[in-house]
Chains A and B, each alone.
Chain A
Amino acid sequence: MTELHKLKHRLVFTCFSLAYAIAFFGADTAVAREEVFIDATESSGLDFVHFNGMSGEFYFPEMMGGGVALFDYDNDGDLDVYLVQGHMLGKGKSLEDATYPPKPGTPLTDRLFRNDLKRGGDDDRLTFTDVTEPSGIRAAGYGMGVATGDYDNDGDVDIYVTNFGPNQLWRNEGDGTFVDVTDQAGVDDPRWSVSASFVDYDRDGLLDLYVGSYVIYELETARRCRNPTSIPDYCGPHAFKPESDMLFRNLGNGRFEDVSEKSGIGKEPGPGLGISVADFNGDSFVDLFVANDGVANFLWMNDGKGSFIDDGLLAGVAVNRSGMSEASMGVDAADFDGDGDEDLFMTHLVRETNTLYVNDGTGWFEDQTSETGLANASVPFTGFGAGFIDFDNDGWLDIFSVNGGVTLFESESWASKDDPWPLHRPNQLFRNEDGRFQDVSETAGKALAASHVSRGAAFGDIDNDGDIDVVVGNNSGPVQLLINNAGAENAWLGLRLMTRGCQRDAVGARASVKLAGGKTLWRRARSDGSYGSANDPRVLLGLGKAHGEREVLVAWTDGSQERWPALASGSYHRLCEGGGEKVSGDRN
């Protein structure tokens, strides 16, 4: 039995019955083919239930939170989990007023869980330990999302937490503890924000910070809404004035400068939710995509001189093919069609499709949702977190999107009259079959059939076995840890792309591998995307049946390229800028 199989055997053994586990991993059983993801939440000890503080008042923020981060805070080589938490909402409200009070003693602050993964021995196991208290993190705001990145280039990943209220920057001290440096860094943003992204937009080697802002909402004075049947319900974003986003430039001395106005970002308000940063037009400067809820999305094109221009409309990503603004929630960017550029996928409201915008290589896109088979299957769902992941390592990027409604009105069609929290919906998995997607959710097993009010979703190889696992943040519900059981069929190659001197993850750098038949895979190191969540920054390339050594080409964020001629598949490699063979004719 391989290490991989031992680990999975152990996982399942602790999670389900022995008989089930045998059936699960037995060669070519029907069950083995069906269970793409295994819910390992309970067995791994990832014990967290989100509390949204609702009390029947239909406060808008209460159904929006639930971000998740996957990051290696202790540099031990495996992914730890950060989960945002809510608290009671409303002046004078106490936990006694809560529709769903938390379990007595539940700390209503964000939580950090350390991954205590053990591999390579007889006792392979995946377990998590709540290390919030020893880590020093006291994040008591009304949590929405989280972004990760090593902003001070000290080799440890820091955290930026977005809230309905002031945000917080937690600096990783490298000894397992964090310090709140929000004020001294100058990145306090009191507005309602959901997603943020660490991004080196000016290519000075320092991670800057983009913070997406949503709408202006005051709990006590906010407009109350009724749905078309005239009963009280949650408002949509159009009921409130949108906020402008913020861009903070990293000065390198532990402080950031607010360049929102100067850069042009702050001039256009929009109810921003998901953020994805990538070089969309191939000019080696990273651009910023912001998924706006119910109005035109932003595509902030970087001019390389510190300014951004929103080119979303002409570029074809602001509104859908029909010219209609959609309620964009989550977003991810990746080269799903293997043509070398970054395409965009975003999730939307029920009765809208999720939308796939295909890049023509110049930063201009075309809505090809229908052509790629993604339209129909998404119409009955309101989607939030999403990611391009090659779940079966066949070399084609698939899509995992998590769902959950936003109004009682829309939930009429699926929830029962007595359902106390009726916004819940099952999540979805779309398999990429030569550029066309098939909804395989119904055959993907029990874990995907579970129905929650899902919001955040973070993607990464949590058990370090070479395939992408998922952590789903559920609003007013338990977190879900979904361990991938399908990737082992195929070969894979894992890369940790790092900046010069191996200082930190080189987010934005791209790695490529050529497969037989001339197909080239391009994958970007990124932690942003999805909804209020942070992903594993490592790059995982599914190679299909192409086992053995592969040549890897890396395009760094400054446009230079390097080559590593022979990297073994089936394992992770750390590639630092300057450590490969320089490729002549690169762009810079």
Chain B
Amino acid sequence: MKLKRICLPLLASLFLLHPLAGLAADEAVLVEVPYPDVEELDPRVRRIVEPAIDYFKRMQPVLSDVELGRAYGRMGLVFQAFRMQEAAGASHRNAMALDPTNPRWHYFVAIYSEETGNLEGALALYRTVLAMAPDYPNTLLRIGRVSLEAGKLADASEAFEALLEKQPDLAAPALAGLGTIALQEKRLEEGVDLLERALVLQPQATQLHYRLAQAYRQLGDTDKAREHLEKRGDRIAWAPDPWVEEMKARARHPSYYVQQGIEAVKQGEMERAAMHLDLALALDPENVEALTRMAVLIGLNARREDAEYLISQALRLDPDHGLANSLQGALLAERRQFKEAQAFYFRAVNAEPENFEFRVQFANGLMRLNDFEAAAQQYAEALRLEPENASTRYGHAVALTLGGNCAAALQTIERGVQANPRVALTLNARARLYATCPDANESQRRLALEDAQLLYDQRPNGNHAETVAMAMAANGRFDEAMDYQGQAIFEAIKNGDTAAQQGMRENMQRYEARSLASAAWPELVSQ
């Protein structure tokens, strides 16, 4: 396949050297729009772009200048939403030429200029916007930022000062800009003060930590510099741009494709899911949601290293992202780095306290670290979110038991059985607790034996055999307990479950000595 290009180069960039040239419609010189080759586009993108072009072409002959300008502008928004920059730039330039009193098109052409490296052109256009509409949103901020990038510190300073005065809600980016200028001009203490004020207003603007670190380094305080380096991130002090948001709304936002990907996973259509997520990442390579979902997908395909890398990318972009932390924890746990995993599980829970899976994952991690009390608390939190989840109920009971609170374990498991009387997992747990808890009465011990035998009859496996043995012993039938325990040990040997064998053998000795089982889950105690 030969490489194909989708857009023609524009004469637009030449025009941008004289950004005011298109103000009057009768002087307007329109440029050719380099329409994308829709055949090359992904079908989902094509479904949005193609009608926009068709509609424009249909209406083009019948519209007046101003209306045609607006039509160009609207089509440009669709192009811009899919980052078809050259097509968008040309459309907006034509819109600017035909509808010259509308500052919006000037604003979008300025963004185009900015993004294609024409900083001077962008600045001139932003100033035009301000001349037309002095309070046009975000324009002062953009002038400040672009002037700073262009090394025009005085202009930048003026813009940020004006922004600070006119729009107190944008104080954080304004202070960040002024702080940066101060540092560049070696007014270090003043710069530090401004940046720290910006950080107070927008603590999530982690990028400012790097500037502060460099400032403190130059001031000779390397400890403070290192402190800030530890906190540095990629988030800038910024403000939402309503016009860019509107532009994005013209297309499917990346989150739409992420959602499609999630749905496809639910339906087991992994290939389709991958396509959706790829598209989301194409539209927004730093979409953390897409990165993490993609990590799950490729992790399922056993490409662990790739998955791990995507997760690290996601965490770099958003260290507090719930799923990314959860996945990172799972990867570490897979490598038996349980303690390290726990820190990520903790962050996942903090990020999304109402996420049931994260709670359970965190609780399971605590169990691995033998912190039964904390695990029980987390299982309880998870049960608050999903009270009927049998395996969580089971986990809660196990955690309480191992934490020495058999009575509470019995309570929780009773609730589980009430909610789901036919679930083997909770019935089995209740039987074991009745058989081993010192607080259990005689009728509960009898019930334990009934349940255990019923479970064993339905599924005669090692686990159920061990439960029957416990219940038999609890009811004084030690010889039968030994028979069942022997069977349970045999099954464990057959399955290669060496971890369980030790506790089982100890219980066997106890039955031989006419004693009750040591614990409901001896394998966990002996670990």
Write the residues of chain A forming the contact surface with B, with a CB cutoff of 8 angstroms: 54-56, 99, 216, 221, 223-231, 236, 238, 240-242, 313-314, 316, 319, 321-325, 350-351, 353, 364, 366, 370-371, 373, 375-376, 379-380, 408-409, 411-422
B511 at the interface (CB under 8 A from A): no
Tell me whether A376 and B119 are in contact (CB under 8 A).
Answer: yes
Q: Which of the listed residues A350, A409, A412, A420 has the most CB atoms from chain B within 10 Å of its own CB?
A: A412
Tell me whether B150 and A230 are in contact (CB under 8 A).
Answer: no
Interface pairs (11), CB distance under 8 Å? A99-B1, A230-B283, A241-B309, A321-B180, A321-B184, A323-B208, A351-B115, A351-B117, A376-B151, A408-B5, A422-B5
Identify whether the interface residues of B are mostly helix, strand, loop, or mixed.
Answer: helix
Give, as a whole number of angstroms, the nearest-CB distance from A92 to chain B.
15
B214 at the interface (CB under 8 A from A): yes
Q: Provide the bound-state CA to CA distance between A321 and B185, in Å.
A: 13
Tell me whether B117 and A231 are in contact (CB under 8 A).
Answer: no
Would A240 and B309 be within 8 Å (CB), given that A323-B207, A408-B3 are in contact? yes
| B residues in contact with A417, CB < 8 Å | 4-8, 34, 37
| B residues in contact with A227, CB < 8 Å | 83, 282
Q: Provide the bound-state CA to CA distance between A399 and B45, in Å.
A: 42
6 pairs of A and B residues whose beta carbons are closest in the complex: A323-B210, A56-B1, A379-B117, A370-B151, A228-B83, A380-B117
Q: Provide the bound-state CA to CA distance between A371 and B130, in Å.
A: 27
Q: Provide the bound-state CA to CA distance between A353 and B279, in Å.
A: 28
Tell me whether A413 and B116 are in contact (CB under 8 A).
Answer: yes
Contact of B283 among A228, A324, A351, A421 (CB under 8 A): A228
Stretch from B94-102, B221-229, B399-407, B463-471 at the A interface: B221-229
Tell me whether B217 and A316 are in contact (CB under 8 A).
Answer: yes
Q: Provide the bound-state CA to CA distance between A242 and B10, in Å.
A: 37
Tell me whether B279 and A230 are in contact (CB under 8 A).
Answer: yes
| A residues in contact with B8, CB < 8 Å | 416-417
Tell me whether A415 and B211 are in contact (CB under 8 A).
Answer: no
The proximity string for B residues 116-129 relative to A, scoring 1 for CB distances below 8 Å and 0 otherwise, is: 11111000000000
B9 at the interface (CB under 8 A from A): yes
Give, as a whole number of angstroms, the nearest-CB distance from A341 to chain B.
16
B194 at the interface (CB under 8 A from A): no
B86 at the interface (CB under 8 A from A): yes
Q: Provide the bound-state CA to CA distance between A313 and B222, in Å.
A: 12
Tell me whether A225 and B9 are in contact (CB under 8 A).
Answer: no
Q: Provide the bound-state CA to CA distance between A426 and B285, in Å.
A: 28
Tell me whether A228 and B282 are in contact (CB under 8 A).
Answer: yes
Give, as a whole number of angstroms, the nearest-CB distance from B83 to chain A.
4
Size bracket of the B interface: 35 or more
| A residues in contact with B278, CB < 8 Å | 224-226
| A residues in contact with B202, CB < 8 Å | none
Q: Which residue of A lies closest to B89 (CB)?
A: A413
Q: Which of B66-106 contact A (CB under 8 A)?
A: 82-86
Q: Which residue of A lies closest to B151 (CB)?
A: A370
The proximity string for B residues 1-22 relative to A, scoring 1 for CB distances below 8 Å and 0 otherwise, is: 1111111111001000000000
Tell me whether B306 and A416 are in contact (CB under 8 A).
Answer: no
Q: Provide the bound-state CA to CA distance between A370 and B180, in Å.
A: 13
Would A375 and B313 be within 8 Å (CB), given that A228-B83, A324-B207 are in contact? no
Would A323 and B282 be within 8 Å (CB), given that A351-B117, A414-B9, A417-B34 are in contact? no
Q: Provide the bound-state CA to CA distance between A282 and B11, in Å.
A: 51
Q: Which residue of B lies closest to A420 (CB)?
A: B3
Tell me whether A413 and B9 are in contact (CB under 8 A).
Answer: yes
Write the residues of chain B forming the contact surface with A, with a CB cutoff of 8 angstroms: 1-10, 13, 34, 36-37, 40-42, 44-46, 82-86, 115-120, 148-151, 180, 184, 207-211, 213-214, 217-218, 222, 225-226, 229, 232, 234, 236, 278-279, 282-283, 285, 303, 305-306, 308-309, 313
Q: Which residue of A lies closest to B274 (CB)?
A: A223
Give, as a whole number of angstroms, the nearest-CB distance from B344 to chain A.
19
Tell me whether B3 and A226 are in contact (CB under 8 A).
Answer: no
Q: Provide the bound-state CA to CA distance between A313 and B225, in Å.
A: 10
Tell me whether A56 and B5 are in contact (CB under 8 A).
Answer: no
Tell me whether B41 and A413 are in contact (CB under 8 A).
Answer: no
Contact of A376 among B7, B150, B279 (CB under 8 A): B150
Q: What 16 new A-B contacts, CB under 8 Å, besides A230-B282, A324-B207?
A: A54-B3, A227-B282, A228-B82, A229-B6, A229-B41, A229-B82, A314-B222, A321-B214, A322-B236, A364-B217, A375-B150, A380-B117, A411-B5, A416-B5, A418-B5, A422-B3
Q: Which of the listed residues A56, A313, A319, A408 has the most CB atoms from chain B within 10 Å of its own CB?
A: A313
Q: Provide the bound-state CA to CA distance between A421 and B4, in Å.
A: 9
Tell me whether A412 and B86 are in contact (CB under 8 A).
Answer: yes
Tell me whether B236 and A56 are in contact (CB under 8 A).
Answer: no
Contact of A238 among B41, B82, B234, B285 (CB under 8 A): B285
Tell me whether B306 and A241 are in contact (CB under 8 A).
Answer: yes
Give, as a whole number of angstroms, the nearest-CB distance from A363 to chain B.
12
| A residues in contact with B13, CB < 8 Å | 413
Q: Provide the bound-state CA to CA distance between A409 and B117, in Å.
A: 15
Give, as a whole number of angstroms, the nearest-CB distance from B59 to chain A.
23
Would A313 and B229 be within 8 Å (CB), given that A416-B8, A417-B8 are in contact? yes
Q: Provide the bound-state CA to CA distance between A17 and B313, in Å.
A: 56
Tell me whether B282 and A225 are in contact (CB under 8 A).
Answer: yes
Give, as a whole number of angstroms, the nearest-CB distance from A587 to chain B.
24
Tell me whether A413 and B10 are in contact (CB under 8 A).
Answer: yes
Give, as a whole number of angstroms, the nearest-CB distance from A279 to chain B.
20
Give, as a whole number of angstroms, the nearest-CB distance from B92 to chain A.
14
Tell me whether B309 and A323 are in contact (CB under 8 A).
Answer: no
Q: Provide the bound-state CA to CA distance between A417 and B208, in Å.
A: 41
Give, as a whole number of angstroms, the nearest-CB distance from A175 to chain B.
45
Q: Which residue of B lies closest to A374 (CB)?
A: B151
Give, as a whole number of angstroms, the nearest-CB distance from A20 to chain B.
30
Q: Provide the bound-state CA to CA distance between A411 and B4, in Å.
A: 12
Give, as a whole number of angstroms, the nearest-CB distance from A456 to chain B.
22
Tell me whether A419 and B234 are in contact (CB under 8 A).
Answer: no
Tell me whether B226 and A55 are in contact (CB under 8 A).
Answer: no
| B residues in contact with A229, CB < 8 Å | 6, 36, 41, 45, 82-84
Tell me whether B282 and A226 are in contact (CB under 8 A).
Answer: yes
Q: Which residue of A lies closest to B8 (CB)?
A: A417
Would A324 and B5 be within 8 Å (CB), given that A226-B282, A229-B41, A413-B86 are in contact? no
| A residues in contact with B83, CB < 8 Å | 227-229, 409
Would A321 and B211 be within 8 Å (CB), given that A376-B119, A413-B86 are in contact? yes
Q: Provide the bound-state CA to CA distance between A413 and B222, in Å.
A: 44
Q: Provide the bound-state CA to CA distance between A240 and B298, in Å.
A: 13
| B residues in contact with A236, CB < 8 Å | 285
Tell me whether B149 and A314 are in contact (CB under 8 A).
Answer: no
Q: Provide the bound-state CA to CA distance between A223 and B474, in Å.
A: 59
Q: Provide the bound-state CA to CA distance between A240 and B120, in Å.
A: 36
Would A230 and B41 be within 8 Å (CB), given that A370-B149, A413-B116 are in contact? yes
| A residues in contact with B10, CB < 8 Å | 413
| B residues in contact with A413, CB < 8 Å | 9-10, 13, 85-86, 116
| B residues in contact with A231, CB < 8 Å | 6, 40-42
Q: Provide the bound-state CA to CA distance between A375 and B152, in Å.
A: 11
Q: Provide the bound-state CA to CA distance between A240 and B306, in Å.
A: 7
Q: Which residue of A lies closest to B235 (CB)?
A: A323
| B residues in contact with A226, CB < 8 Å | 42, 278-279, 282
Q: Provide the bound-state CA to CA distance between A350 and B118, in Å.
A: 12
Q: Provide the bound-state CA to CA distance between A316 and B46, in Å.
A: 45
| A residues in contact with B214, CB < 8 Å | 316, 321, 366
Q: Provide the bound-state CA to CA distance between A167 and B110, in Å.
A: 47
Q: Which residue of A lies closest to B10 (CB)?
A: A413
Give, as a whole number of angstroms, the nearest-CB distance from B348 to chain A.
22
Tell me whether A323 and B3 are in contact (CB under 8 A).
Answer: no
Give, as a whole number of angstroms, the nearest-CB distance from B124 to chain A.
14
Q: Which of the listed residues B184, B214, B278 has the most CB atoms from chain A within 10 Å of its own CB?
A: B214
Would A241 and B149 be within 8 Å (CB), given that A324-B207, A412-B86 are in contact? no
Tell me whether B226 and A314 are in contact (CB under 8 A).
Answer: yes
Give, as a whole number of angstroms, the nearest-CB distance from A415 to chain B.
6
Q: Provide the bound-state CA to CA distance between A350 and B9, in Å.
A: 16
Q: Provide the bound-state CA to CA distance between A420 and B1, in Å.
A: 11
Tell me whether A323 and B209 are in contact (CB under 8 A).
Answer: yes
| A residues in contact with B306, CB < 8 Å | 223, 240-241
